[in-house]
């Protein structure tokens, strides 16, 4: 499911216009991104938690020249931890 399909599905489920749902989804995305940038977490109880994690710098191997070592810089990456309700729904197939 892509973003347009998600917007269509949500608009039908909640009875709002597609533009309203798109604006709401964009606001959600921006809020999550802004919160993660400052090191915070966004928790949707039962669904899951969005968080950011710092991956430290490390040595790696150049995939084009396997004998060559390269320095991989430190980076902050997004992480999602699924909540119990989401895990249980996927286990039971409902």
Q: Which domains does the chain have, with CATH numbers?
A: 3-92 (4.10.520.10)
pLDDT given for residue 94 in this prediction: 55
56 in Cβ contact with 76 (< 8 Å): no
What single-letter DSSP state applies at residue 72? Answer: E
Q: Look at residue 93 and tell me whether its pLDDT is greater than 90.
A: no
Calculate the average pLDDT of the chain. Answer: 94
Condensed to tens digits (0 to 9), the pLDDT of residues 4-37 reads: 999 999 999 999 999 999 999 999 999 999 999 9
How many CA atoms, within 13 angstroms, populate the side-chain half-sphere of residue 89?
Answer: 9
Buried/exposed 63-94: b ≥16 CB within 10 Å, e otherwise: eeeeeeeeeeeeeeeeeeeebeeeeeeeeeee
Please report which helix (H) or strand (E) contains residue 1, including its range: none
């Amino acid at each position: 499911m892509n973003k347009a399909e998600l917007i269509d599905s949500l608009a039908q489920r909640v009875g709002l216009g597609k533009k309203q749902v798109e604006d709401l989804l964009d606001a959600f995305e921006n809020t999550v991104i802004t919160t993660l940038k400052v090191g915070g977490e966004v928790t949707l109880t039962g669904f899951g938690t969005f968080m950011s994690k710092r991956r430290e710098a490390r040595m790696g191997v150049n995939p084009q020249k396997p004998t060559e070592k390269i320095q991989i810089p430190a980076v902050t990456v997004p992480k999602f931890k699924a909540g119990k309700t989401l895990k249980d729904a996927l286990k039971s197939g409902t």
